[in-house]
Chains A and B, each alone.
Chain A
Amino acid sequence: MTDSRDRQRKHTALLLLVAVGMFGFAFALVPLYNVFCELTGINGKTSGQAAVSVQTSPILEREVTIQFLAHVGRGMPWEFRPMESRLRVRLGEVNETRFYVRNHANQAVTGQAVPSVAPGLAARYLHKIECFCFTQQTLEAGEEMEMLVKFYMGVDLPADINTLSLSYALFPVTVAQTTGLEIDRDSSDITSAAHEEHSGS
């Protein structure tokens, strides 16, 4: 009898361990997913790391078109647009383009650009040597700037890709990074409004 009790206890403990392990696994899915994205090009996420600029392969004759797109996130008081809408580039050749930004707010605002490439598969072959998306950008009130992207296309880009789009979505940093304070501001804003709704009615 005690034998079977022990066995039951062992089984229970083991199964609990599996359950706890699977809870951890859910969080392990986050880095796993990022690896998976990089391999398969889900969402066209590009590497957050600067590529080395040393040319190891020759520049090819083959040319592709790159379109540049800019997207201003909600609550971002910036003007943001590509200064060239597209470029024709040769594979392996280092090119650069600029994006124009201007802060229309009355105070300094920090933004973070998030890149995305279509087709997603091409993201692996777009090597950025310099990019404003590697760091956060802060603009003073009314300040304008031209932000640089320096990149080359990998020579092993699959043959069926001849046009790709590089899009940057620009988000305000404050909310994501200092949530505690910021949400407080927002919610106090909202709750006081809600409060007034009550007192008003």
Chain B
Amino acid sequence: MTSITNRVQSFLILAVLWVFSQNASAQMFDMRRGVTDMSQRVQSLHHLIFGICVVVGAIVFIVMFYSIIAHRRSKHPEPAKFHESTAVEVVWTLIPTLILIGAAVPATMTLIDIEDNSDADLTVLITASQWKWHYQYVEAGIGFYSNLTTPLEQINNVDPKGEYYLLEVDNPLVLPTNLKVRFLTTSDDVIHSWWVPDFAVKQDAIPGFINEAWTRVNTPGVYRGQCTELCGMNHAFMPVVVEVRSEEDFLSWIDDQRLANELAGEAAVAARSRDWTMAELMPMGEDVFLTHCATCHQPDGMGQGIKYPALAGGVIPTGPVEAHLERVMNGLAETEMQAWAPQLSDLELAAVITYERNAWGNDTGDVVQPLTVYSAR
């Protein structure tokens, strides 16, 4: 019986290891080493404590299985009588204590360094919302949203899944190498958590408050992570993608962003300086709606129950334009309805509101102009 225990267990472990050695490297079974000094220290710490656990576990199990085999009734019919020993109890209280102290010392030292957020070269404010990230470069004064780009067809198993399925975004966070970057995290609605395993940075984003973390990345590359605090329906669909560039490339990227902002500003001026027709706005509005609104309100505008009201025939889309603008632009406190004014351009807002007021049989005939949106900002 007992040797079966052993054989079954070792067979299992070997079988599992074998299956995965076929299509994955040993790395698959390890914590990620990462690309920062800190992530590597954390991995070493993981190895240390994992090693301790394996050794302690092995000793306990060897003694236990030895006893299972050697002291089974057929081999050892007369049980011993002892049932107490203060000396032994003291020993197996003291030895674990010493081992724990051995683990606590390096853990404490690493932790003290992790919590040292001082002397940062730049600060990035990360604002989470359901279900996207906003990055703001505090010193440079630029900011943008970062949304998942994996198409719905891949999620719904219509199209084959791409290499970075669920780990790809429209605007990755761009960081320089070798500089100390300080992250401030906060949230617009519920608690989220910003995690990049390769940096060993995981920090909760809490509504109303700011938290700190930092990193200094050694190697350029693209690093991917995810939100790690259950944040509602689409918790699985808010990845973190960070593109790390050399310092020089980073600075020129910042300049490009500023230029892009200026161009967007000019485009906005152009957009509001003329009147748009319903025919122009409707297809544009449908695109915006499907990208940003359809997850909750559904592509057919029917919504999902009480929390995500139907827009087809809804009070707001068929009511006064001002209230509709107000709701879309500023959101509704204490609900999942976000403020879209900071996220979308005047033209996009005009298009999506026009679309909502005329699609699905709403047929109000209202055409909302970018200029109207602009003056409501």
Contact = CB atoms under 8 A, between A and B. Distances in A.
Direct contact of A and B (CB under 8 A): yes
Interface of A: 43-45, 67, 69, 71-77, 85-86, 104-106, 114, 116-120, 160-163, 165, 167, 169, 171-172, 174-175, 186, 189-194, 196-197, 199-201
Contact of A167 (B139, B141, B210, B337): B210
Nearest to B331: A74
B314 interface: yes
Nearest to A175: B333
Interface stretch (B76-84, B116-124, B164-172): B116-124
B188 interface: yes
A71 B127 contact: yes
The 6 closest A-B CB pairs, nearest first, are A75-B333, A193-B309, A197-B310, A116-B209, A43-B209, A200-B313
B181 to A, nearest CB: 13
A194 B209 contact: no
7 contacts: A45-B209, A74-B332, A85-B139, A162-B119, A192-B315, A196-B315, A197-B314
Interface of B: 116-120, 123, 125, 127, 138-139, 141, 182, 184, 186, 188-189, 206-212, 302-303, 305-306, 309-310, 312-316, 322, 326, 329-335, 337-339, 376-377
Given A73-B333, A74-B335, 16 more contacts: A67-B123, A69-B125, A74-B188, A74-B334, A75-B337, A76-B330, A77-B330, A160-B118, A162-B119, A163-B120, A167-B209, A169-B208, A186-B334, A193-B310, A197-B302, A197-B313
SS class, residues of chain B in contact with chain A: loop
A74 B338 contact: yes
B118 A74 contact: no
Contacts of B210: 44, 69, 116-118, 165, 167
Contacts of B338: 74
User: Which of A86, A114, A118, A161 has most B Cβ within 10 Å?
Assistant: A118
B377 A193 contact: no
B342 to A, nearest CB: 8
A74 B127 CA distance: 13
Contacts of A196: 310, 313-315
A165 B210 CA distance: 9
A104 B325 CA distance: 12
B143 to A, nearest CB: 11
User: Which of A43, A75, A117 has most B Cβ within 10 Å?
Assistant: A75
B211 A118 contact: yes
Given A118-B212, A193-B316, A200-B312, A171 B333 contact: yes
A75 B331 contact: yes
B138 A69 contact: yes
A104 B315 contact: no
